[in-house]
Every structure is written in C-alpha cells, then in structure tokens.
Amino acid sequence: MNRKLKKALKYSAVAACAASAASLSAYVTTKGMIKMALDREKPNMGPKHSKVSGAKANNAFTHARQEAAEALEKAENEVVEIVSHDGVSLVGHWIPQENARRVIIAMHGWRSSWGYDFGLIRSFWEQNGCSVLYADQRGQGESGGDYIGFGPVERYDCLDWVNWVTGRCGNEIPIYLWGVSMGASTVLMASDLPMPGNVRGIVGDCGFTSPHAIWKHVATNNLHMRFQLRGTMANTMYRRKTRMDAAAFSTTDALSKTTIPVLFIHGTDDRFVPVEMTFENYKACHSPKKLLVVPGAGHCMSHFLEPNRYEAIVKEFWSEND
C-alpha cells in the first residue's frame, strides 16, 4: 500500500469518526429537546427557558401576570371533564356570566396554564358579557395525555370543547375560539374543522405556523444549533410519540380552507414566535380577517402593553361577527 493511499484511508477514517460523533451529538441534543417540548413531565429547564424563548426579562409584566393568574385560578369556577375524540380526559374551568352575550373557549400556550395566559384579560371578558371555558391543554394541567402535541393533535380538542359548550348553552349563542402562543396555533389549526354555525370567530395571539417551523426557529435563532439533521430526527421522535408528522400540517393549511373570521394579534419584539409567522398566517387566511401588530411587544405581551388598542379591535371583531 503506497503512502498516498494510507494517508487517504487515514483521513477517511477520521472523517467517518467525526461524522459519527456529530450524528450522536445531534441525536442526544434532539432527544433532550423533544423531551422538553413534548413530555408531560416538565424537565428542570432552569436558565435554558430564557434561551429557548429568547425573551428579555420584563419584571412589570411578569409580576402582573403572576398576580392575575393567582386571582383567576382562585375564582369560583366549575371544573368540567370530558372525554376527547381519542379517549383522553380533558379538563376545563367554566366561569359563566348571567345573560352572556357570547362564549369564549380559551386555549393556553406551551407549558403554561389557563390562569397564567388569561388572568390579565379576564376582567375585559367579564365586563363584556363573556362566559369562558378555560381549557387545560392535553399533556398539561389537570387534563390527561402523556404528550404535548403543538397544535396538530390539540386542534381536534377544540371541536370537543365546542360540542360541550353547545350542549351546555345551546346552538344560538356566539362562540369564539381564543388562543395564546401554542394555544393560538391550536385554534388556528382547528379553523378548517366542521364547526357548528354559532362558532363566529377565532382569535390567535402570537401563534406559530407549525411544530417543525417553531422548532427550527428556536434551534437556529435562540439556541444557535444547526437544525437540518436535528429537524429530521425531531420529526421522527414526534411521530413516534403523537403518531403525527410535525411538518405535515400547519396553520396556513387550515387557514387557506376556513370560512370562519379570524383576528390575528402579535408583537413586533416576540423572540419566541417571530411576528413573521403571523404575517404568513394572515396571508394564507381566505376568510374575513383582521390584524393587530403591537410595536415593542414581546411574547404574549400585546394586551399588557396596549390594552386600549387590543380591546378596541376585539370589540370591533365581536360587533362584526356576533
């Protein structure tokens, strides 16, 4: 064997080992990311949480949100339990209003809670005659399910809750699906399902376009990881756990088919879910639609920063669709 051949074989072996090590490293980090993303048991993320979300600390918002969450979760409510289309126990918290004008089905975000995501807007809803069904998303809170599905799974839960509300309140009262963050993606992905006629609108506040798209954004921009190989691995792991394809369905797919009016809301400074995703959703939507973009607002902060503009466009949306 000549010297050049030996050298070539040596370099090939080194390259093969490096590629194998890189693949192993990608697998290990992706497995950890998917566990953090999907598994019911919440890992101790510590400082990783701020890296994942890319959020800058806003102490005033955090304090107000926490206080509002505690107040809402202590409020008198009826704990409701239903069995979903696929046999999972789903729990909601029902707070009705006397002579209600409409019902809101509120879907909270990823690793959040009904109180944390909707405590700040609760008084606005109550002052405007809204009975509210605050859902615990599957894989979180008191609802069953081993995994969080990032929307493609939970979209069908929206229809289950609509059926419950219709059974409780009748088929005349207007119903609005309302979601924040992953909850926004959930209700937007539900927009093409066969909803009854009294589902009059959907409000999506800072929703992403698909599981695959949000993972790519977080991995690339917030965690500074290469995503191509990890994306393939993540989709395989997601499919094993949920029996769905993370890249096979999106908000834009649903919105291109819906006839339900939609109000889109997003902040320009959202580093967790970029505002460009709402622009994609808005462009894809073929039904009557409105858009509110709040300058300077981070993730889930639009109502906190500009409550007057936020509430005004919501009232306008209701008046047009009730």
Instruction: Specify the CATH number for the domain of residue 164.
Output: 3.40.50.1820
Full-model pTM: 0.90
| pLDDT at residue 70 is higher than 70 | yes
Residues in the chain: 322
Q: Is pLDDT larger for residue 167 or for residue 9?
A: 167
Q: How many domains does the chain have?
A: 1
Q: Which residues contact 316 (CB under 8 A, 6 or more apart)?
A: 290
Name which of 53-57, 59-63, 180-184, 260-264 the model is least confident about. 53-57
| pLDDT at residue 315 is higher than 70 | yes
Cα separation, 125 vs 120, in Å, equals 10
Strand 262-267 and strand 199-205: the pairing is parallel
| pLDDT at residue 229 is higher than 90 | no
- Inter-CA distances, 243 with 73, 137, 147, Å: 33, 18, 11
Q: Cα angle vertex 113, ends 294, 244, to 5°?
A: 90
172 belongs to a structural domain:
yes
| Contact assessment for residue 286 and residue 272, using Cβ atoms and an 8 Å cutoff | no
Look at residue 1 in the predicted model and tell me its pLDDT.
52
260 belongs to a structural domain:
yes
Name which of 45-54, 65-74, 151-160, 284-293 the model is least confident about. 45-54
Q: What percent of the chain has pLDDT over 70?
A: 89
Q: How confident is the model at residue 41 (pLDDT cuts 50, 70, 90)?
A: confident
43 belongs to a structural domain:
no
| pLDDT at residue 10 is higher than 50 | no
240 belongs to a structural domain:
no
51 belongs to a structural domain:
no
* Mean pLDDT taken over the chain: 90
Q: How confident is the model at residue 231 (pLDDT cuts 50, 70, 90)?
A: confident
| pLDDT at residue 44 is higher than 80 | no
| Contact assessment for residue 260 and residue 199, using Cβ atoms and an 8 Å cutoff | yes
**pLDDT per residue as tens digits for the range 147-196:** 999 999 999 999 999 999 999 999 999 999 999 999 999 999 999 999 99
End-to-end CA distance of the chain: 83
225 belongs to a structural domain:
no
Look at residue 21 in the predicted model and tell me its pLDDT.
41
Q: How confident is the model at residue 49 (pLDDT cuts 50, 70, 90)?
A: low
Strand 89-95 and strand 130-135: the pairing is antiparallel
| pLDDT at residue 17 is higher than 90 | no
The residue segments making up the domain with residue 182 are: 57-210+249-321
138 belongs to a structural domain:
yes
Look at residue 66 in the predicted model and tell me its pLDDT.
97
Torsional class of 78: left (φ above 0), alpha (ψ -120 to 50), beta (otherwise): beta
Q: How confident is the model at residue 261 (pLDDT cuts 50, 70, 90)?
A: very high
Report the candidate in 319, 238, 304 with the shortest Cα–Cα distance to residue 66: 304
Q: How confident is the model at residue 48 (pLDDT cuts 50, 70, 90)?
A: low
| pLDDT at residue 7 is higher than 70 | no
Look at residue 15 in the predicted model and tell me its pLDDT.
39
Q: How confident is the model at residue 143 (pLDDT cuts 50, 70, 90)?
A: very high
Which pair of tokens denotes residue 1?
Answer: 């064997």
116 belongs to a structural domain:
yes
CB count in 10 Å sphere of residue 37: 23
Q: How confident is the model at residue 227 (pLDDT cuts 50, 70, 90)?
A: confident
Look at residue 3 in the predicted model and tell me its pLDDT.
57
